[in-house]
Structure 1
């Protein structure tokens, strides 16, 4: 039986691609004096390229941007601080995030989250989305001292929620860090489809989060019948 649903954040609940583009556009406008010699689209496109879908931390991104574009008047540390404080204002959820979390909670499922990243930054993003109260457990890699795909962080999430890994379903967008890693510890897996990746070996593949309550219900009904209930 599935008793807990554990979510990834970026690319699963948070539409990071949309959020990042909104932030970079806003930063360009607010820092236009320092960026006046750079075309807006050039700055945005290069930032997104260097960001590598969030797998390159922004200290490196900004140092590279300052070097390439010969930006004066702002240091990379000032730009990084601007990112940390202003990104949450642009956090954009995927469709049906709040409704899905509400439905799962009403179905008496415990909800958890595992996200790689820095604790204050990720918690501020969660607060911006307004969904933190839905979760009984939120594990952020910086605070935990381990990150996905380390199997321990998945086991730890299940333990905090009070269930075995086989009673947990994990949903994420990354084939290795999310799906493969969760499957390795015995969790049922859902891949939230991302056009950046090819098809992956998940138990379920979805495009919209609104499918989640029905998936959990179908699993539990099937297992109930097999157990003779």
Structure 2
């Protein structure tokens, strides 16, 4: 561990998920590729649709419905429905096909397991203090085996803007019933996690599973309270 400021007693922790517990991009890429094949296999008339087509449709949907920009589930479902409608499916068919394709993608997007060492760490932490997950993503926490450790899970959505916006930090603190300064937020992103939590008055721990951690190669607005070498070091902080 590298300490950049004094750690005061910790009564609760909040965790980022994507890129903190696993490298998110390979799973997203694999799920996108799987969805392309699934559409071609299950809906041959739509088989020409590519990942690039879905990205283009997403931009159009965001222009029309900016209020769902933070909600990855609603945005993806709306994108698929828009794309299928644009290709000639009637509203009922487009909706039904979009829901089926989204369900397939969502399963594939969450079809992996995390490092077994993280389970032992989270089990110890959860037995000592309350934990809440706050993520800008939409991974299925039950499917990847993390839900069991958290008293609550917040995903960015229409109701809660994505980090570094305060929404999810505030919601977590209200659930935890402790002061902001008594919460340690753990995450990989210098802006969304470290800066976002710091400006709310939380203590912060920087940890990334998806890359080599070099603080000089990251764009920090403020240094974290502590930089972790491995996630299990959190046990020593409580």
CA contact (8 A) 2:35 2:105 kept: no
Aligned to 1:223: none
Name structure 1 gaps, 5 residues minimum: 221-229
Task: Measure how far apart 1:112 and its partner are.
Answer: 0.8
Select which of 126, 132, 138 maps to 1:105: 126
Q: Which of the two has greater helix per residue?
A: 1
Aligned to 1:213: 232
Closer, same or farther in 2 for the Cα pair 1:16/1:203, shift >3 Å? same
Closer, same or farther in 2 for the Cα pair 1:44/1:185, shift >3 Å? same
The answer to whether structure 1 residue 85 and structure 2 residue 85 are counterparts is: no
Task: Measure how far apart 1:174 and its partner are.
Answer: 3.0
Closer, same or farther in 2 for the Cα pair 1:166/1:94, shift >3 Å? same
Aligned to 1:185: 200
Select which of 67, 76, 93 maps to 1:58: 76
Aligned to 2:146: 131
Select which of 22, 29, 45 maps to 2:37: 29
- After superposition, give the CA deviation of every residue in 1:106-148 in whole Å (9 maximum; x if it has no partner): 4x1211112346xxxx4x7112112212111223444754543
SS at match of 1:10: coil
Task: Measure how far apart 1:104 and its partner are.
Answer: 1.6
User: Taking structure 2 as the reference length, what is the TM-score of the superposition?
Assistant: 0.64
Aligned to 2:178: 163
Aligned to 2:62: none
User: Taking structure 1 as the reference length, what is the TM-score of the superposition?
Assistant: 0.67
Closer, same or farther in 2 for the Cα pair 1:204/1:37, shift >3 Å? same
More RCO (CA 8 Å, sep 6+): 2
Q: Take 2:104 and 2:171, find their aligned partners in 1: how far apart are those partners?
A: 31
CA contact (8 A) 1:9 1:115 kept: yes
CA contact (8 A) 1:100 1:213 kept: yes
